Each structure stands twice: as C-alpha cells, then as structure tokens.
Amino acid sequence: MCIIYQSLLGEYQELRVANAKSMAKLRELERYKEISDDIVNSASTSRRMEEKERIEISSQMQQYRDKLEEAVENICFLEKENKRLKSDVTAAKLDATTSNVLLKTLDDSKSKLSTTES
C-alpha cells in the first residue's frame, strides 16, 4: 500500500509541476495577447487619425481649389474689362482727334471767311 501511495504522490507532484508549467505558459500567452491587443489598438487609432488627417487635407485642398477657381474667374473678368476699357479709351481718343480736326477745319474756314469778307 505504501508503494501505491508513493506512486500516487509522485504522480500528484508531476501533475502539480505540469500544472505550474501550464499556468506559466498561460500567463505568458496572456501577456502576448495583451501586447498584441495594444499593438492592434494603436494601429487602429493611427489609421483613424491618418484617415481623419486625409479627410481634413482633402477638405483644405477643395477649399483651395474653389478659391483658386474664383480667383481665375475674377482675373478673366478683369482682363475682359481691361480690354473693353482700352477699346473705349482708344475710341475716345479717336473721337477727340476727329473733333480737333473738325474744330481746326472750322477755325480755318472762319478765318478764310473773315479774310474774304474784309
């Protein structure tokens, strides 16, 4: 009976050692799981932040494009207005030159009439 008891006690000790090793391995695996969860959460947070930054940059680019388009439209309008005003100035200069020529001709005609009447 003593041998059976010794045998059972030996098996019990072996099972306790195996259980302790299993528990140590379990704790090690739990630490690895916690570390991997932290890495996954960190990566997920990073991806969310990157996505948020990408959306913000995209929004800023769209605002820039809109402002640029508006500025180009204003430039085109101002160029057309500038051409129109130059044309008006040229026409006014021609009208003034024509008026000056007509006034000179009128003055010359008046002078000739005055000299012929005298």
Written as six digits, the tokens of 82 are: 């500038």
Task: Give the C-alpha separation, 95 to 87, whole Å.
Answer: 12
Q: 3-class DSSP state for residue 107?
A: helix
Residue predicted with more confidence, 98 or 67: 67
Task: Give the C-alpha separation, 97 to 40, whole Å.
Answer: 84
Average pLDDT over residues 27-50: 94
Q: How long is the chain?
A: 118
Task: Give the C-alpha separation, 22 to 28, whole Å.
Answer: 10
Q: What is the pTM of this model?
A: 0.50
Confidence of residue 114 (pLDDT cuts 50, 70, 90): confident
Q: 3-class DSSP state for residue 22?
A: helix
Task: Give the C-alpha separation, 67 to 53, whole Å.
Answer: 21
- Residues 48-86: pLDDT tens digits? 999 999 999 999 999 999 999 999 999 999 999 999 999
